[in-house]
Structure formats: C-alpha cells, structure tokens
C-alpha cells in the first residue's frame, strides 16, 4: 500500500501533464481568439463555408468572420491582391491567377474540402433518355446544337429540346463547359440561362422536353420533381451520380471544391483556428449541406499539407494548368 | 344648334374617356403594388418575430435572422444620407443661386443629368477603386490604421469593404438624383422673394440661408425621400465593392464589415428550400418598415419646415 501510493501519484501527475500538453497542442481556447477573417469566392462552396463559419462563430464569438459570394474568379481577384484571407473555389486556381498572386507577393495554401457533382436532369415523364453520353450532351449544348431530341439520338422522339443552363459567369457553367463542351467550345445561344438554380429546377420540372444541369445538392433537394440521367463518360458505362461514384471518380461530371488560405494570414491564430475547425467539421457539415466529403485517404493528405503549411498549387506547373484525375494529381 | 349639342356631348364623352383611362392607369399601378404587398405579407408574416430580428444568419431556416443585415442597412443608409443630402443641396445652391451662366455651368449640368442615368453597378466599380482600394496606393492586406479596432473611432486607409465605403458608394449613386431634385426645388422659389431680400440689403448668402433654402426645403425633402428609398434598395454596387453576405457581428465603427438587407433577400430568395423564401419575404417586410420609417422622418421635417413660410 505504502509502496503503490507514490507511483500512482506519479502516474496521475504524468497523465495530467500529458493531458495538459495535449490540451495546449490539440485544442485551442476559441473564446480567447480575436480579429477578423474575410472569406469570399464561389457560391457553390458557400453553403459549406456558411455552415462551418456559423458553427465556428458560436464558439469563437470575438472573431468576426465575413463571407462573400463573388464567384470563384471574383473571389480570386480579391484574394490574389490580399483583400481576403480565404478564397472559396469550385475549381483549382488558374495560371493567370497564380501570376497575379505572385506580383502581389501573396502565397497561399491549397486545401481541397469536398466533391461536387453536376447532375444532368430531365422531366420525370421524359421516358426516352435512359442515359446520356458526354458527346450527346455536347451535341445538345453546343452552339448550333440539335433542335430536336431525334437529332441527338435517332431512337428518341421528334420533339423540340428546351435546354436550361446556369449563368455563364457561374463556376458551375465553367466546369460544365470544360468537362463537356471543351476549352474552345461555345454554348448554344438559345438556351434558357439563370444564375438562380431554383429557376432551372422550376423550368425543367415544368417542361417534358427540357434538359438542364446543376449541382447535385440542388437535385437532392428536388428529387421529387426531377430525374437525374446516368451519364456515360470515357469508360463507356452509364453511371448515376452518387457519393460512391463520385469518390471513385467513375461519375464523369464531378469535381473537387477548394479553399485557398493566404500564407501570411495562416500564421494568425484566428485564421489557423478557423481552417483547423473547417477540416475537423468538414465531413459532417459537407454531407449536411448536400455535397460529398473527400475520401479518407485524400483527407489525410489534406491534413498533412496543412500541418506542413505546404504553399502553392498542385494544379499549375510552369505557368500551365495540369490536366488529369484529381485523385492522381493531388498529393 | 343641333351641331352644338352633338359637339357638347362628344366633348363630355371624351372627357369621361380621359378620366377613366387615367383612373385605370392609377389602378393598374395600385393593383400591382397591392398584389405584391399582399403576397409578400402572406408568405412572410409568420416568420417575423423578435428572434428573427435579433439573430444572425444560419443555414437552418428556423434559426436564421437578420440582425447583421438590418443594422448594416441602417449604418450604410445613415452614412449615405449624411454624405449625399448636404452635398446634393450644396451643389444645387451653387448651381442655382451662385453660378453664372457659363460653359462650365452647362458642362456640370450636362454631366449631372447624364450621371443620374448611369447604372448603379458602374458606381460600384468606381467606388471599389476609389474608397475600397484607394487606387491601389496602399497595400490591402496591411492597411494603415489609426486607433483601436474595437473602438468607435477606428479608421484605416484604404477603407476596405467597410460600412463607410458602402455608405459613400450609395451616396455616389443617389447624388445626381439629390442634386437634380434640389435644383428643381430652388427653381420653384419665386424670384420675387430673392429680389425682395436683395433689395432690403441682404447678402447673397443671407438670401440663401434665410429665404430660398427654407422655401425650397419641403421639396428638397421629397427629393431626399426618393433618393434614400433608392439607396436602401440597392444591392448591385455593394456586391461589387465586396459587400459580404454572411456576417456574425453588427457594425461597431465606420471600418466594420457589413451586409445589407437587399443582399440577404437576394441570397435567401435564390435558395432551393421553400423555408428560405419565407424568410426572404419576411426580410422584405422589415425592409419596407425601415423605408417607411425613414420616409416618415423626412415627412415630419418637411411639415415642421413648411410652417414658417405659410404664416
């Protein structure tokens, strides 16, 4: 008895010491943080950031976080001159944006946070489009594209196509253009365009001959009014949009979403705390707002990159955008 | 005789046709407005509560509120009014009471008329360069600051996307309207009043201060109401200067980040969930109430000022 007491006391002391080190190291005292963090960028990423910032603001009450929705390009314009600490992006940074950041001496950390999948949608009573190839989508949406469904596939009825699309300034359209129309492709002039995805939902759900596309989150919200068409990519297999098909990158129309953190700002405790909170809460909140979380292997790389404060982008090299699968490129 | 009777009845007929078409024109406007108001009231009324006014934004419609955009709108509009109304009246006084007929005056006049037709988003671009970035003279991530960031008197250069920059941006938007309305007010003051005062030995400044300005003030206030109504509804120029959408703090000084009601309404109305559309309608009701209370202050000022001239 007399023997064990000192050892157990030492043990307790040791455990307390370790715990207190862990507490200093692993968790921050959010309530004591102060300052302002400005975020701007993609409206596609906004719902995720909104959820994270809302939860962050509950525990770090003195940190004034503000979020804007200037679009990916608009957000980078401000980020690359140092006006914002974090930029939301629905695509990797481009070579010209990297160059702009370099002229303003802005360094940044690139952090993928989730996947977004475009869903191609038709009216639920459309019984002819069982699946669609990228080439067929291109034939529908290209300038001077098919006027009738029969023009796209001879087995489809001879009915006029009404094409719906998100606004041509949106990151969603940018992505669709890259993935479907090609870099030089031009979109047809007679499609119905709206910045408001809700208008697209209304349009397609009210017209049997309509086709449209937008983020998977919007489709999930309106499952009862629309039908998502399985898409045939280079693999030749029709794939429906889902978490599984997005993760293994078999669904052809999915893309990673990013946040970019200003290197100088990342050294500030309030910004670092927000980014770490972002990474910790990301999975749960991403699912809640309708996007698809990163696979655990990718998330581990993201954590490692953040701890090492790895600067720069992995998608631009020697002033050129690198092409390829996100899963292969991102290290 | 017979011809005269026919022509009278025809004249009466055309009189009635004119009367009814004018009434119809009025009714169409009123009908559209009331359809809009009633539909918004039905959709949004249930969402209005003290909690709605006193909460910050949220991704959950049941917890979302408009504290930040409401106070942001009040700050920005107050700054806008303080900047644009005196400047507008001053410009009008110069142009109507002091400036001689010259090429310069005609040039200024032409410019003001043209500026009142410029889309507000263009002013946003101008303000982004001038107020938010100071034409790139200072580094955006290391602004030059004066005072404690948490105190009321904190100032930084460049202003950044702050309430001060936002208020000045809206002031630019409404300045031409304000100037033109004030000019009309001064023109409507009978020249005999001015001449009488001058004949009694008043200096031109005394004439303006004691005679023309008080006489013109009620009409100027009507112009100010219209101008401020425009300012409180603007979203585009504030979006351009980098007005934020999600803000979890109310402004504490002129350099605070802000959001405004039109931005919040625009965002909520564009979301897929129907519950957010209800919140957008509720925010529109709040915005209308704010607008009406702004206007009633101006109307009270107008009533107060009208009295001395009538007696």
C-beta neighbour count of A89 within 10 angstroms: 28
Q: Are A283 and A291 in contact (CB under 8 A)?
A: no
Same domain, A232 and A293: no
For residue A235, the model assigns a pLDDT of: 82
- Pick the last residue of a domain from A227, A247, A267: A247
Are A66 and B257 in contact (CB < 8 Å)? yes
Q: Is residue A185 part of a domain?
A: yes
Same domain, B1 and B71: no
For residue B145, the model assigns a pLDDT of: 77
Q: Report the residue from A70, A195, A197 with minimal CB separation from B242.
A: A70
Same domain, A130 and A235: yes
Instruction: Work out the minimum CA distance from A25 to partner chain B, whole angstroms.
Output: 27
Specify the range with the lowest mean pLDDT, choosing from A102-116, A183-197, A262-276: A183-197
Same domain, A87 and A163: no
**In terms of C-beta density within 10 A (0-12 exposed, 13-18 middle, 19 or more buried), how is residue B150 classed?**
exposed
Q: Tokens standing for A302?
A: 């993201």
Same domain, B151 and B291: yes
Here the CATH number for the domain that contains residue B136 is 1.10.3720.10
Q: What is the predicted ipTM?
A: 0.78
Structural domain harbouring A172: 117-247
A132-139 mean pLDDT: 91
A259-287 mean pLDDT: 91
How many residues would you count in chain A? 331
- Which residue in B has a C-alpha nearest to residue A202's C-alpha? B272
pLDDT, one tens digit per residue, over B214-254 is: 899 888 988 998 899 889 988 889 988 877 888 888 888 88
Are A82 and B271 in contact (CB < 8 Å)? no
Same domain, A160 and A210: yes
Residue B259 has pLDDT above 60, yes or no: yes
For residue B222, the model assigns a pLDDT of: 87
Same domain, B82 and B221: yes
Same domain, A124 and A223: yes
CA B174 to chain centre: 6
- Which residues of chain B make contact with A54, given a CB cutoff of 8 A? 56-59, 246, 248
Same domain, B263 and B174: yes
- Pick the last residue of a domain from B47, B65, B81: B47
Structural domain harbouring B105: 49-310
Instruction: Work out the minimum CA distance from B230 to partner chain A, whole angstroms.
Output: 23
Between residues B144 and B272, the one the model is more confident about = B144
Same domain, B83 and B142: yes
Specify the range with the lowest mean pLDDT, choosing from B123-132, B143-152, B193-202: B143-152
* H-helix or E-strand spanning residue B70: helix B67-93
Same domain, A138 and A236: yes
C-alpha closest to that of A195 among A225, A165, A223, A217: A165
Instruction: Work out the minimum CA distance from A40 to partner chain B, whole angstroms.
Output: 8
Same domain, A213 and A286: no
Same domain, B99 and B230: yes
Residue B181 has pLDDT above 70, yes or no: yes
Q: Are A122 and A227 in contact (CB under 8 A)?
A: yes
Same domain, B41 and B109: no
Q: Residue A23: which pLDDT band, with cuts at 50, 70 and 90?
A: very low
Same domain, B133 and B233: yes
B165-186 mean pLDDT: 94
Same domain, A232 and A280: no
Whose tokens are 């655990």? That residue is A296
Between residues A2 and A260, the one the model is more confident about = A260
- Which residues of chain A make contact with B259, given a CB cutoff of 8 A? 66
Same domain, A98 and A138: no
- Pick the last residue of a domain from A225, A247, A269: A247
Residue A227 pairs with which residues in a beta bridge? Answer: A122
Between positions 187 and 206 of A, the ones with CB within 8 A of B are 195-198, 201
Same domain, B173 and B288: yes
Same domain, B257 and B290: yes
Same domain, B43 and B53: no
Same domain, B62 and B88: yes
Same domain, A205 and A316: no
Are A66 and B271 in contact (CB < 8 Å)? no
For residue B286, the model assigns a pLDDT of: 94
B200 contacts: CB under 8 Å, gap ≥ 6: none
A108-120 mean pLDDT: 91
pLDDT, one tens digit per residue, over A82-113 is: 889 999 998 889 999 999 999 888 999 999 99
For residue B5, the model assigns a pLDDT of: 57
Between residues A26 and A222, the one the model is more confident about = A222
Q: Residue A52: which pLDDT band, with cuts at 50, 70 and 90?
A: very high
* Total count of domains within chain A: 2
For residue B308, the model assigns a pLDDT of: 53
Same domain, A240 and A122: yes
Q: Are A182 and A134 in contact (CB under 8 A)?
A: no
CA distances in angstroms from B140 to A65, A150, A183, B143, listed in the order given: 17, 56, 34, 6
How far apart CA B221 and CA A11 sit, in angstroms, is: 78
B187-213 mean pLDDT: 92
Residue B142 has pLDDT above 90, yes or no: no
A243-264 mean pLDDT: 88
Residue A25 has pLDDT above 60, yes or no: no
Q: Is residue A24 part of a domain?
A: no
Same domain, A90 and A157: no
Q: Is B147 helix (H, G, I), strand (E, B) or coil?
A: coil
Here the CATH number for the domain that contains residue A267 is 3.40.190.10
pLDDT, one tens digit per residue, over B77-101 is: 999 999 999 999 999 999 998 888 8
A304-315 mean pLDDT: 89
- Which residue in A has a C-alpha nearest to residue B63's C-alpha? A54
C-beta neighbour count of A105 within 10 angstroms: 11
């Amino acid at each position: 008895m007399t023997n064990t007491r000192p050892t157990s006391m030492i043990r307790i002391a040791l455990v307390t010491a370790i715990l207190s080190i862990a507490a200093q190291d692993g968790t921050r005292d959010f309530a004591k943080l102060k300052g302002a963090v400005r975020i701007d960028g993609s409206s596609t990423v906004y719902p995720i950031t909104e959820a994270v910032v809302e939860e962050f603001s509950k525990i770090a009450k003195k940190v004034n976080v503000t979020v804007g929705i200037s679009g990916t390009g608009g957000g980078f314009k401000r980020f690359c001159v140092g006006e914002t600490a974090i930029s939301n992006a629905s695509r990797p940074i481009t070579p010209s944006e990297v160059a702009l950041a370099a002229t303003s001496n802005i360094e940044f950390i690139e952090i993928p946070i989730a996947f977004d999948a475009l869903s191609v949608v038709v009216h639920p009573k459309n019984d002819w489009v069982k699946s669609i190839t990228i080439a067929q989508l291109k034939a529908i949406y290209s300038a001077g594209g098919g006027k009738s469904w029969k023009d796209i596939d001879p087995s489809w009825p001879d009915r006029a196509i009404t094409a719906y699309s998100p606004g041509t300034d949106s990151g969603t359209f940018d992505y669709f253009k890259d993935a479907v129309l090609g870099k030089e492709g031009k979109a047809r002039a007679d499609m119905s365009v709206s910045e408001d995805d809700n208008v697209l939902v209304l349009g397609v759900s009210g017209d049997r001959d309509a086709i449209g596309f937008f983020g998977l989150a919007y489709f999930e919200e309106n499952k009862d009014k629309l039908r998502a068409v399985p898409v045939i990519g280079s693999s030749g297999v029709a794939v429906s949009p889902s978490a599984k098909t997005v993760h293994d990158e078999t669904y052809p129309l999915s893309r990673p979403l990013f946040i970019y953190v200003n290197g100088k700002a990342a050294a500030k405790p309030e910004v670092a705390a927000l980014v770490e909170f972002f990474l910790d809460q990301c999975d749960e909140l991403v699912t809640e707002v309708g996007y698809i979380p990163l696979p655990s292997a990718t998330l581990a790389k993201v954590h490692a990159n953040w701890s090492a404060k790895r600067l720069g982008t992995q998608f631009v090299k020697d002033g050129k955008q690198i092409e390829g699968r996100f899963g292969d490129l991102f290290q | 005789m017979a011809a005269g009777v026919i022509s009278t009845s025809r004249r009466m007929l055309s009189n009635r046709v004119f009367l009814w078409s004018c009434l119809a024109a009025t009714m169409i406007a009123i009908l559209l407005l009331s359809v809009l108001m009633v539909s918004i009231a039905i959709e949004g009324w249930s969402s209005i509560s003290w909690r709605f006014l006193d909460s910050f934004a949220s991704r959950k419609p049941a917890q979302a509120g408009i504290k930040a955009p409401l106070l942001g709108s009040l700050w920005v509009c107050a700054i806008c009014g303080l900047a644009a109304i005196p400047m507008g009246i001053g410009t009008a006084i110069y142009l109507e009471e002091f400036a001689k007929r010259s090429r310069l005056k005609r040039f200024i006049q032409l410019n003001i008329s043209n500026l009142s037709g410029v889309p507000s988003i263009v002013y946003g671009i101008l303000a982004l360069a001038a107020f938010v970035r100071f034409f790139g003279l200072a580094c955006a991530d290391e602004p030059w600051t004066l005072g404690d960031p948490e105190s009321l008197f904190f100032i930084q250069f460049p202003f950044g996307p702050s309430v001060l920059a936002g208020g000045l941006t809206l002031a630019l938007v409404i300045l031409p309207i304000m100037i033109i309305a004030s000019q009309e007010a001064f023109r409507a003051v009978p020249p005999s009043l001015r001449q009488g005062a001058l004949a009694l030995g008043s200096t031109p400044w005394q004439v303006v201060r004691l005679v023309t300005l008080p006489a013109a003030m009620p009409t100027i206030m009507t112009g100010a109401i219209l101008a401020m109504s425009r300012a409180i509804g603007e979203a585009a120029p504030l979006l351009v200067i980098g007005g934020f959408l999600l803000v979890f703090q109310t402004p504490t000084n002129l350099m605070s980040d802000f959001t405004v009601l039109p931005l919040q309404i625009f965002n909520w109305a564009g979301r897929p969930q129907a519950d957010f559309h209800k919140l957008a309608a509720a925010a529109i009701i709040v915005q209308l109430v704010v607008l009406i209370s702004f206007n009633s202050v101006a109307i009270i000022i107008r009533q107060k000022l009208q009295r001395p001239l009538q007696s």
